[in-house]
Amino acid sequence: MSSTTGTRGESVTPANPAYGTVVDTTDVTALLERGRALSAPVLRAAVDRLAPPMDTVAAYHFGWIDAQGRPADGDGGKAVRPALALLSAEAAGAPAEAGIPGAVAVELVHNFSLLHDDLMDGDEQRRHRDTVWKVHGPAQAILVGDALFALANEILLELGTVEAGRAARRLTTATRKLIDGQAQDISYEHRERVTVEECLEMEGNKTGALLACAVSIGAVLGGADDRTADVLEAYGYHLGLAFQAVDDLLGIWGDPESTGKQTWSDLRQRKKSLPVVAALAAGGPASARLGELLAADAKSSDFDSFSEEEFAARAALIEEAGGREWTAQEARRQHTVAIEALNGVDMPEPVRAQLTALADFVVVRKR
Amino acid sequence: MSSTTGTRGESVTPANPAYGTVVDTTDVTALLERGRALSAPVLRAAVDRLAPPMDTVAAYHFGWIDAQGRPADGDGGKAVRPALALLSAEAAGAPAEAGIPGAVAVELVHNFSLLHDDLMDGDEQRRHRDTVWKVHGPAQAILVGDALFALANEILLELGTVEAGRAARRLTTATRKLIDGQAQDISYEHRERVTVEECLEMEGNKTGALLACAVSIGAVLGGADDRTADVLEAYGYHLGLAFQAVDDLLGIWGDPESTGKQTWSDLRQRKKSLPVVAALAAGGPASARLGELLAADAKSSDFDSFSEEEFAARAALIEEAGGREWTAQEARRQHTVAIEALNGVDMPEPVRAQLTALADFVVVRKR
C-alpha cells in the first residue's frame, strides 16, 4: 500500500493503524469536503422542519449549537457517508447532486442510531461533547432519534419517484440491519464468550449495512439498476467492515486527543470488539490469561475504579495474544475485498479512483 | 344518536361517556373482528422477522406471550386501526385484503409509539400488564420500538409499487405528527398552563394523524387518488379527535376494570388533558380553585402519596367547572364533523355505513 490518488496540495500523513505506512489523503479531504458542503444545507433545512424543542436538541447533537443554545462550529464527524452517496450517483453516470437526498437520508439514519445507541449504552461523550441524553435527558434522546428516522424516510419519499421508493426500501433494509446489530451488540455484552464470526456479523450489521446503503443510494436515485446497486453495496459493506476493524483498533489504542474518547475506551465499556474476541480465540498463554482476567472483571465490583495500568495490562495481553495484529490484517483484507468488488460494475474511471481513495482513507484514519 | 347499523346477534349496550345513550355495536364488533383476523397473521409474520431477542420482546408487547415467554392470549387492543384500513381499501372499490399491508404498517407504527411513549412517560402498565421497559429494560423498549418502526416501512416498500411508495409517504407524515404530538405532550407536562387549542393540536398529532392514515392507507394501496385519500384522512383525523376526547374522559372517570388503568389515571400523571384544560379555561370559582390546587400539586413533594379522596376532589372540581361536559360535547362535535367529511367522497354505501358505525363506536366505548 502506498500513496494513492493525491495530486493536489500538501500531503496529510497520519499514523496508520492497519498498514503502518504513509498515505496521501489530499483528494479524500476534498471529497469529504464536497460531501459535507453539498449535503449540510439540505440536512440543516431538514432538521429545521422539526417542531421545538426537537429542532434545538437535534442541532445540539449535530454540533451546530452548544448546550446553552449558542451557535457552535461543531465537529460533524468524518462525513464519509455523504461523500460516498455523491460518488454513488456519479458511479451511475448521474450528477453528484442527484445523490444529495440519499446522503441526507443516510446521515439522518446514522444520527438516529447514534442518539439511541448512546442512551442504550449509557455513553456520556461523543465527539468530545456530552451526549444528548446527558444534556437534554433520555426522553429527548428517544424522541429526537425517532424524529430523525422519520425525517430520513420523508426526505426520500417526498421526491415521489419510483427511484425514491427503491432508495427508501434499501435504506429501510439497512436500518433494520443496523438495529439487528445493536441488538447483537447489547446481548454480547452480557455473554462471556463471543466468536469472531459473531463479532463480524454484528459489525457488518452495525457499520457495514449503512455504509453499503450510502454507496448504493445515490446510484439508485440516479437511475441505476438493482445489479449495479448490489455491487456498490458489496463494496460499501466490506468498506464498513474495514472501517469498523480500524474503529476497534482506535477504541483500544487510539489517541484520546484524536478520537475524543477516553483511553482504553472499549475496554472500559467491556466491549467484545474484534481485537478482544480474536485474542480470546487465539489460544496460548496470553489468550488464556486474558480470558481469566476478563471473566473476573465481569464479576468485579471494583471495575469502575480500575486504574490506567489495569486497562493497559489488558490491552498488552490482547496485543500479545495477537488480537491487535489480527484486527489490522482483517482491516486490510476487507479493504482489498471492497476494492475488488468495484470491478463488478462499469463506472467512470475517476469515480472508481475516488472510491478507491476513500477506501484507503478509511483504513488509515486516526479518528 | 340512536342505534345505528346493528342487525345481527345481540346488542352490546355500553354506558356512553359522550352521548349517555345506548348504541348497538354488533356490526362494529364484526368489523373489528375482521380487521383483527385478516391483519393478525401478517402482523405476526412481520414480527417474526425480527432477530432475537427483539422478536420475543415484541411478542410480549403484543400480548402473544407472557413475561416468562409462555404463550398468552393477550388483549391486543381495540384494533380500530386495522378495521379502518380494510374499510379504506373498500372505500376505493378495492377488496378489503388490499388494505392488509397498510393495516399492519399502521399497527406497527402505533406500537412503536406505545413502546417509546411508555418509556418516556415512565408508564409502568398498559393493557393490564407491565410495560416492556419494566419487564425487559429501557434498552429493549427503545430498540424494539425502532425495529417496529423500520418494519412498518419495510412491509409497505417491499410491495414495490408506486401506490406503496405513496402509502409509505403518508405513513411517514403521520409518524412525524405522532412524534410532534409526543414532544408537545412532554413539554406541556412542564408548563403551568396549556390552552384548549394547544391541547387539541397535540391530540390531533398524537391520535388524529395515525387514525387519519389508517383510513387513507388502504384506499391508496387500492389505487385511490390523492383527493379521495385526503377526504378519508379528514374523516380519520376528526374521528381521532373524538376518540381522544373519549380517552380523556376515561382517563379520569373510566372504570379501572375496563380501562386497565389506575383510578384517576391521567390526574395521577398530571396530564393536561382536555377536561383539565377546558376546566381551567372556563373561569368561575371551581375553575379558579382547581387552578390553585394544581399549581400547588406541581410543587408538592407529597403528590405521589395522594389519597383517592384527593384525586376525587380534583375530578369533582373539573366536573363542576364544566370540563367533563365540554369534553363530552367536543367528542360529539368531532364525531359529527368526521361523519360529514365522508360526504366529500363517493364510496359504496355499505362502506359508508360501516365507517359511520365505527365512528359511533369510538364515542361510546368504555375502554
Q: What would the pLDDT profile of A312-337 be if each residue is shown by its tens digit? A: 999 999 999 999 999 999 999 999 99
Domain annotation for chain A: domains and CATH numbers:
22-364 (1.10.600.10)
First to last CA, chain A: 20
pLDDT at residue B14, rounded to an integer: 40
Average pLDDT over residues A281-309: 93
Is A169 in CB contact (< 8 Å) with chain B? yes
Residue A345 has pLDDT above 70, yes or no: yes
Q: Which of A123-127, A132-136, B326-330 has the lowest mean pLDDT?
A: A123-127
Cβ atoms of residues B240 and B212 within 8 Å:
yes
Cβ atoms of residues B259 and B253 within 8 Å:
no
CB contact under 8 A, B147 and A119: no
pLDDT at residue A76, rounded to an integer: 66
CB contact under 8 A, B139 and A120: yes
Is A232 in CB contact (< 8 Å) with chain B? no
Burial class (CB in 10 A: 0-12, 13-18, 19+), A27: buried
Please list the residues that pair with B65 across neighbouring strands. Answer: B71
Q: What is the average pLDDT value for chain A, to the nearest integer?
A: 91
pLDDT at residue A18, rounded to an integer: 61
pLDDT at residue A13, rounded to an integer: 38
Residue A257 has pLDDT above 90, yes or no: no
pLDDT digits (tens, 9 = 90+) for B140-195: 999 999 999 999 999 999 999 999 999 999 999 999 999 999 999 999 888 888 99
Q: Which of A143, A164, A172 sits opposite B182 (nearest CB)?
A: A143
B158 CB neighbours in chain A (<8 A) are: 169
Please list the residues that pair with B227 across neighbouring strands. Answer: none
Residue B12 has pLDDT above 80, yes or no: no
Angle between helical axes of A100-121 and A209-221 (0-180°, round to 10)? 160
Please list the residues that pair with B71 across neighbouring strands. Answer: B65
CA A312, A317, A320, A326 dihedral sign is negative
How does residue B13 score in pLDDT terms, banded at 50, 70 and 90? very low
A142 CB neighbours in chain B (<8 A) are: 116, 119-120, 142
Specify the pTM: 0.91
How does residue B22 score in pLDDT terms, banded at 50, 70 and 90? very low
How does residue A306 score in pLDDT terms, banded at 50, 70 and 90? very high
Residue A37 has pLDDT above 70, yes or no: yes
Cβ atoms of residues A217 and A163 within 8 Å:
no
pLDDT at residue B24, rounded to an integer: 47
Q: Bigger pLDDT: B4 or A136? A: A136
Is A176 in CB contact (< 8 Å) with chain B? yes
User: Which amino acid appears at position A73 of this protein?
Assistant: D
Mutate to test the interface with B, among A55, A169, A188, A201 (most CBs of B within 10 A): A169
Q: Which helix (H) or strand (E) holds B120?
A: helix B100-121
Q: Are strands B129-130 and B125-126 parallel, antiparallel or unpaired?
A: antiparallel
Please give the interface size between A and B, counted as residue pairs whose CB atoms are below 8 Å apart. Answer: 114
Is A142 in CB contact (< 8 Å) with chain B? yes
ipTM comes to 0.90
CB contact under 8 A, A169 and B147: no
Q: Which residue of A has its CA nearest to B178?
A: A147
Q: Which residue of B has its CA nearest to A173?
A: B154
CB contact under 8 A, A142 and B116: yes
Q: Which of A54, A150, A173 sits opposite B172 (nearest CB)?
A: A150
